[in-house]
Structure 1
Amino acid sequence: MSQDHNRGKRIREAMALNNVRKSQALAAELDVSAAAVSRWQSGGHLSLESACALAQRLDVSLDWLLLGRGTMDWHRYNTLSPAELQHVMTLRKHPQSMRTLIFNLLAEIPARS
């Protein structure tokens, strides 16, 4: 993967939130060099295999880590229950105009605390 300073920033953020203070310790856990971890933190080359291992170790979404897409913890909530899947499939049968009305209605319903 190419140079990406925003990705490096996300890696540093995930490490801080997971109290990973020592790059050398993280490198040992991932079986890579400390220089590799330092390079990742600077936005340098990161293989897909290393990215997957890093995301798993830091318990962050791979999409967020690599692309900045979604949220850091999106991976924890991305599984649909059978009922939720049925609702999605039902929504898809309706035209976009109807889906928009339904989404607007749902947005107006206060969330439970």
Structure 2
Amino acid sequence: MTYDPARGKRIREAISRGKFRKVHALAAELNVSVAAVSRWQNGGHTSLESACALARLLDVSLDWLLLGRGTIDGHRNSAISATELLWVMALRGRSAAARSNLIGLLESIPPEQALR
């Protein structure tokens, strides 16, 4: 990835929010040099592998970290449960008419908050 000062700023923010107070500890955990972490913080080259490891370790959204899209913790809000995934897969296996009917039924059910 090319030089990107905005990405460097996001990396600094993610590190400051994380459990690592020392760059040395973060670098050791990622098995990279302190100079590499410093380069990332200044917007320098970051491999995709390192960016993924950094996002995972700091528990931040990779999309946000690399591209500035979404929020720092956007990855937490988009998780789908195993049950939801099964329902999505079952829906995909139905005809277009059946999908339309099922979606219409789901949309007619008020949200849980509206029931209170």
Give TM-score, length-normalised by structure 1. 0.72
User: Could you tell me the percent identity over the aligned residues?
Assistant: 63
Deviations 1:42-99 (A, max 9, x none): 0000000000000001000000000000011111111235887779x8xxx88xxxxx
Letter in 2 for 1:13: E
User: Residue 64 of structure 1 aligns with which residue?
Assistant: 64
Deviates more, 1:64-73 or 1:14-23: 14-23
2-side partners of 1:64 and 1:41: how far apart? Answer: 15
Contact 2:19 2:58 in 1 (8 A): no
Q: Please state whether the residue corresponding to 1:32 is helix, strand or coil.
A: coil
> Which structure 1 residue ranges, 5 or more long, are not aligned?
95-101, 103-108
Letter in 1 for 2:22: K
Letter in 2 for 1:51: A
Output aligned runs, 1:39-50, within 5 Å: 39-50=39-50
Letter in 2 for 1:79: A
2-side partners of 1:30 and 1:82: how far apart? Answer: 30
Question: In the comparison of the two structures, how many residue pairs are matched?
Answer: 103
Output aligned runs, 1:1-113, within 5 Å: 1-81=1-81
For the aligned residue pairs, the C-alpha RMSD in angstroms reads 3.0
Letter in 2 for 1:44: G
2-side partners of 1:21 and 1:82: how far apart? Answer: 35
1-side partners of 2:55 and 2:82: how far apart? Answer: 27
> Which structure 2 residue ranges, 5 or more long, are not aligned?
92-98, 101-106
Distance 1:83 1:26, change over 3 A: closer
Query: Which structure has the bigger radius of gyration?
Result: 2
Letter in 1 for 2:80: L
Distance 1:82 1:3, change over 3 A: same
Give TM-score, length-normalised by structure 2. 0.70
2-side partners of 1:25 and 1:31: how far apart? Answer: 10
